[in-house]
Amino acid sequence: MKSEKLAINGGSPIIQDDSGKFIHPIVTPQIEKAVIEQMHSTLSIYDRSGIFKDFEDAFAEYHGKKHGLVTSSGTTALWSLYDSINLKKDDEIICPIYTFHATVNPILQTSAKPIFVDCDKTGNIDPERIAQKINEKTKAIMITHMWGYPCKMDNIKALSKKYGLYLFEDCSHAHGASYQSKKLGSWGDAAAFSLQGNKIITGGEGGIIITDNNEIYKNCVLHGHFGKRTKQEIDPNTEDFKYAVTGKGLKLRAHPLAIRIAHEQFKSLDDINRQKNEHVEIIRDYVSNINGIELNQGYADSVNSWYALILKLDKEKFNCDIELFCKSLNAEGGVEFDIPNATSPLDTLELYKKPSHFFKNYKDENLVDGEYPMSKKFSQSIIKMPVWYRKEDTAIVENYGKILNKVAKIYEKVN
């Protein structure tokens, strides 16, 4: 049987035009109209009103939460969460080693210390390994639902309850996902979502916090807001109210245009995720014929948001390394196939190996206190792709499946 020639070796690519590019967000006429309306209304919102209130209410309600607070970014949303629990020197926060670095970075702005935990075979933080790292200094657990795959929240929630720890969720990949029929972002004491340009719901830049906890909410307001919003929201009978003019002195306010854009997309979130699930099934069918590639499996009872579809490669099964495999997929017109190097385990980062370069309170500490073999293995064996979310993009998804089949066939080891 004669096999086709790979595009990377001069063969003809499966996708011949630029249709393999993932365009996100889709700027609909509704978004255009809303943005123009917003520009003529206001471009800076000082208190909890207008589009801030609309989006905070809608987003909180969707998750069954009491409070929503929009922020300038996901990173600042996370920072406010860490700041909200009154951390002291030597307090410890349990965090995933395998996450985007912004999940953990803001801890360095507090007096606490991140304690890293390895992942399991899903790529998410391993509940059993969390248990091993809890001690009397532990104050909180931060988890990330990586790539939109839900963490094992029943076990993690049970741990946080048992030891009296705050539980925070970084839901920046997980808009609309759920575990055991409960929305991600509603499991812990509070959650942060990024609304940055790549994220499922986006305003270009922005973030949002949701919580039921009045104290956390109030502290987040004080952390990044001042003047009208603090005066409106802080109880006048408290000591905090004396600080309403300044808050804690930072301004982490969102941009109204960003929030307006995010709010328009948010209206379609469930439809987006439903269509993604159909497209994932197409890829699953293609991959089921390939010996050596599998879709990363999450936990049972998960509804994934498919921020990215994660393909796991078994190197032993192919005559090439993962880099060449990915380049070959790209050459076929599957330009979005990607080895996510920007999201490699945090033990590789100078910021954690030697934080004292910027943060004097860490002295000579190395915050990387061990080996994280599962994260290393996971991150070195995956290729990700986006999941298109409009019916009219099904043909692109089919082509991505064909590309996987073609490239895998040619590199397949035959024995």
Ligand X SMILES: *Cc1c(COP(=O)(O)O)cnc(C)c1O
Quick one: CA dihedral 217, 218, 224, 225, positive or negative?
A: positive
Whose structure tokens read 């996708």? Answer: 15
Of these, 20, 68, 74, 114, which contacts ligand X (CB under 6 A)?
Answer: 74
Q: β-strand 207-211 against 182-183: which pairing, if any?
A: unpaired
In whole angstroms, give the CA distance from residue 172 to residue 281. 23
Site size toward ligand X, by CB under 6 A = 14
In whole angstroms, give the CA distance from residue 159 to residue 141. 9
CB of 195 to ligand X, least distance (A): 6
Contacting range for ligand X; rule: CB under 6 A; set: 48-56, 97-105, 118-126, 294-302: 97-105
Of 74 and 355, nearer to ligand X (C-beta) is 74
Question: Omega before 25 cis (within 30°)?
Answer: yes
CB of 193 to ligand X, least distance (A): 9
CA distances 270 to 55, 176, 399, Å, are 16, 7, 25
Asked whether position 75 contacts ligand X by CB under 6 A, the answer is yes
Of these, 69, 102, 117, 191, which contacts ligand X (CB under 6 A)?
Answer: 102
Of these, 65, 129, 173, 312, which contacts ligand X (CB under 6 A)?
Answer: 173
Q: Give the three-class secondary structure for 327.
A: helix
Asked whether position 25 contacts ligand X by CB under 6 A, the answer is no
Contact yes or no for 279/394 (Cβ under 8 A) = yes
Of 144 and 399, nearer to ligand X (C-beta) is 144
Residue 67 has φ and ψ, to the nearest 5°, of -120, 145
Of 103 and 399, nearer to ligand X (C-beta) is 103
Of these, 100, 226, 299, 318, which contacts ligand X (CB under 6 A)?
Answer: 100
CB of 321 to ligand X, least distance (A): 26
CB of 71 to ligand X, least distance (A): 9
Of 75 and 399, nearer to ligand X (C-beta) is 75
Of these, 38, 99, 160, 275, which contacts ligand X (CB under 6 A)?
Answer: 99
CB atoms within 10 A of CB 2: 4
CA distances 232 to 48, 61, 68, 176, 387, Å, are 8, 21, 15, 30, 41
In the shown chain, the binding pattern of residues 193 to 232 toward ligand X, with x for contact by CB under 6 A and - for none, equals -x-x----------x-------------------------
Asked whether position 305 contacts ligand X by CB under 6 A, the answer is no
In whole angstroms, give the CA distance from residue 165 to residue 139. 5
The arrangement of strands across the sheet holding 309-313 comes to 293-295, 309-313, 382-385
CB of 170 to ligand X, least distance (A): 5
In whole angstroms, give the CA distance from residue 212 to residue 332. 48
Of 194 and 265, nearer to ligand X (C-beta) is 194
CB atoms within 10 A of CB 398: 16
Asked whether position 172 contacts ligand X by CB under 6 A, the answer is yes
In whole angstroms, give the CA distance from residue 306 to residue 386. 8
Contact yes or no for 244/226 (Cβ under 8 A) = yes
Tokens of 28: 């609909």
Residue nearest to ligand X (CB): 74
Of 73 and 330, nearer to ligand X (C-beta) is 73
Residue 201 is classified by DSSP as S
Of these, 45, 69, 73, 188, which contacts ligand X (CB under 6 A)?
Answer: 73
Specify the amino acid at residue 233. Answer: E
Contacting range for ligand X; rule: CB under 6 A; set: 20-28, 72-80, 88-96, 390-398: 72-80
Contacting range for ligand X; rule: CB under 6 A; set: 96-104, 107-115, 123-131, 382-390: 96-104
Of these, 118, 120, 169, 170, which contacts ligand X (CB under 6 A)?
Answer: 170
Contacting range for ligand X; rule: CB under 6 A; set: 56-64, 165-173, 395-403, 404-412: 165-173
Of 138 and 194, nearer to ligand X (C-beta) is 194
Of 173 and 223, nearer to ligand X (C-beta) is 173
Whose structure tokens read 């609304």? Answer: 195
Tokens of 196: 């940055």
Residue 212 is classified by DSSP as S
In whole angstroms, give the CA distance from residue 198 to residue 73. 12
Asked whether position 71 contacts ligand X by CB under 6 A, the answer is no
Contacting range for ligand X; rule: CB under 6 A; set: 94-102, 154-162, 177-185, 399-407: 94-102
List contacts with ligand X (CB under 6 A).
73-75, 99-100, 102-103, 144, 170, 172-173, 194, 196, 207
